[in-house]
């Protein structure tokens, strides 16, 4: 396995873990203000502007989160 393959796998696992955390956070009190102050909302909006294959796989998750 090449470095790029290993990095890609690790990066994909990190993205999955991040979305799991982001989906969990709104179940807590004051979640909206915490997500904005942590900078997660602008990051998700920026993700919607990306058009790479990896970004396109994660866009439905970002849209789902932002529409809650």
- Give the total number of structural domains in the chain: 1
Res 5 pLDDT > 80: no
Tokens 């998750």 correspond to what residue? 61
What residue numbers bound the domain in which 33 lies? 3-66
* Chain-centroid distance, C-alpha 34: 16
Query: Global pTM?
Result: 0.59
Span 25-67, pLDDT tens digits: 777 777 778 778 888 888 888 888 888 887 888 888 888 877 7
């Amino acid at each position: 396995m090449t470095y790029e393959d290993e990095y890609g796998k690790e990066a994909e696992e990190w993205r999955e873990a991040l979305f799991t955390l982001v989906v969990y956070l709104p179940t807590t009190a004051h979640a909206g203000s915490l997500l904005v102050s942590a900078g997660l909302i602008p990051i998700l909006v920026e993700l919607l502007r990306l058009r790479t294959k990896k970004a396109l796989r994660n866009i439905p998750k970002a849209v789902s989160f932002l529409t809650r």
